[in-house]
């Protein structure tokens, strides 16, 4: 996980912002929103991981968009602007734009998922269920350890038993599985005894909050919710409506694009602000 301004926020703030951007990336079907969101993601990648990395992400976005633009007209022949004929089938400009927008949408979702995955602490996702269902969250974190433990025990058992049962047969594999399961279950009993000794089940559990919810987290959540609500309202009112067929057409005022632009560039702007503050403090 890379340290960034976003990862330093409370998970409630960082996940709200990330979730809102992803929601918009899923919903908006117009090329302008797609370009704004992609630019935000690439700018954020550039701030966190450097310009060469951002250039690679830009190339990825361009490639996926181009792939959509090339493949869709081969399948769909809708649209009125015929660019040329491939055999007897017309290749239309509208179908190419539709494919490019679809490719850009898919690229956006991937870009943002990857960018967020790189900076957000994965265990922070457990903050929310941990508050409501502390025991279930504990079982989940224990299960995370159980599966690799069982796999390791099975591999160890097979390696240790190979001197006595060298053949690679199903029977010997089953023997290793049997030993692995028996050991893991026995270990689970010991773990359970240890948990009881450490107070598990003794009282109604409380919750340790690794992350503090500070004023700036509140401000970030407020801003995110405000921008997301306004963007969704604008979306429902048709501010970002864009149609490809039969001809390319858009409606709504250009000013509405300020909302997704603000949201998409917020992570990169926060990153830049931290960098400037760091430099001025030196």
Partner 1 sequence: MALLEVKDLSFSYPGGEKKALDNLSFSVEEGELCLILSPNGGGKTTLLSLLQNRGDLPGKRSGHVSFPGGAPRTALLRQDADLALVTDKVWRELAFAPENRGLPTEEIRLRVAEAAGFLGLEPLFYRDVSSLSGSEKVKTLLAAFLADRPGLFLLDEPASTLDPLAKRDLAEALNRIRREGGGTVLLAEQTCDPFFAEADRVLYLENGALLFNGSPREAARFLLTTGRGSFVPESARLAFSLGEKETLPLTDSEGKRALSALPYTVAPLPRVKCAGEALLSLRDLSFRFEKNAPDLLSGLDLTLSRGEIVAVLGKGGSGKSTLLRLLSGELSPVRGKRRLAGGAKLAYLPQDVRCLFEKETLEEEMLSVSSPEKVREALSRFDLPPLAGRHPLDLSGGERQRAALAKLSLIRPDVLLLDEPTHGLDGGAKAALAALLTRWKQEGAGILLVTHDAAFAAVTADRCALLFNGEFAALEETDLFFRELHLFTTPTARVTDGKALAPEEVKAP
Does 278 contact partner 1 by CB under 8 A?
Answer: no
Write the binding mask 138 to 167 for partner 1: x where contact by CB under 8 A, - elsewhere.
Answer: x--xx-xx--x----x-xxxxxxxxxx-x-
Give the binding range for partner 1 (CB under 8 A) out of 17-25, 27-35, 48-56, 181-189: 181-189
The least distance separating partner 1 from the CB of residue 122, rounded to whole angstroms, comes to: 10
Give the binding range for partner 1 (CB under 8 A) out of 68-76, 102-110, 190-198, 246-254: 190-198
Among 209, 219, 225, 236, indicate the residue that binds partner 1 (CB under 8 A).
Answer: 209
What 244-253 contacts at long range (C-beta under 8 Å, 24+ apart), as own/partner pairs, is 244/78, 244/79, 244/94, 244/95, 244/97, 244/98, 244/101, 245/78, 245/79, 245/94, 245/98, 246/78, 246/79, 246/80, 246/94, 247/79, 247/80, 247/81, 247/94, 248/93, 248/94, 248/97, 250/30, 250/32
In angstroms, the CA 46 to CA 63 distance is 18
The token pair at 109 is: 């979702």
Give the binding range for partner 1 (CB under 8 A) out of 10-18, 89-97, 107-115, 136-144: 136-144
Does 205 contact partner 1 by CB under 8 A?
Answer: yes
Sequence-ordered list of residues with C-beta below 8 angstroms from that of 270, at least 6 positions apart, any chain? 5, 6
Does 134 contact partner 1 by CB under 8 A?
Answer: yes
Among 75, 84, 167, 198, indicate the residue that binds partner 1 (CB under 8 A).
Answer: 198
Nearest partner of 127 among 140, 117, 118, judged by Cα: 140
Does 279 contact partner 1 by CB under 8 A?
Answer: no
Binding site for partner 1 (CB under 8 A): 123, 134, 138, 141-142, 144-145, 148, 153, 155-164, 166, 175, 178-179, 182-183, 186-187, 190-191, 194-195, 197-210
């Amino acid at each position: 996980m890379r340290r960034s301004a976003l990862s330093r926020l409370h998970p409630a703030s960082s996940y709200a912002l990330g979730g809102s951007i992803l929601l918009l990336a899923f919903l908006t079907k117009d090329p302008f929103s797609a370009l704004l969101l992609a630019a935000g993601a690439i700018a954020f990648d550039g701030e966190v991981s450097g310009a060469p990395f951002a250039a690679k992400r830009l190339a990825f976005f361009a490639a996926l968009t181009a792939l959509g633009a090339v493949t869709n007209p081969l399948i769909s022949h809708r649209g009125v602007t015929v660019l040329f004929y491939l055999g007897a089938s017309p290749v239309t400009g509208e179908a190419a734009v539709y494919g490019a927008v679809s490719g850009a949408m898919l690229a956006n979702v991937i870009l943002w998922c990857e960018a967020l995955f790189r900076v957000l602490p994965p265990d922070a996702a457990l903050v929310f269920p941990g508050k409501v269902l502390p025991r279930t969250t504990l079982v989940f974190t224990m299960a995370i350890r159980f599966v690799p433990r069982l796999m390791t025990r099975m591999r160890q058992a097979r390696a240790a038993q190979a001197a006595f049962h060298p053949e690679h047969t199903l029977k010997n594999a089953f023997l290793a599985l049997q030993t692995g399961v028996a050991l893991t279950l026995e270990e689970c009993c010991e773990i359970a005894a240890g948990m009881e000794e450490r107070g598990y089940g003794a009282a109604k559990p409380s919750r340790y909050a690794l992350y503090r919810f500070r004023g700036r987290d509140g401000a970030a959540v407020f801003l995110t919710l405000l921008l997301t609500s306004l963007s969704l309202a604008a979306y429902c009112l048709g501010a970002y409506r864009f149609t490809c067929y039969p001809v390319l057409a858009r409606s709504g005022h250009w000013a509405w694009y300020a909302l997704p632009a603000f949201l998409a560039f917020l992570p990169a702007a926060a990153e830049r602000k931290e960098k400037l503050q760091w430099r001025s403090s030196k």
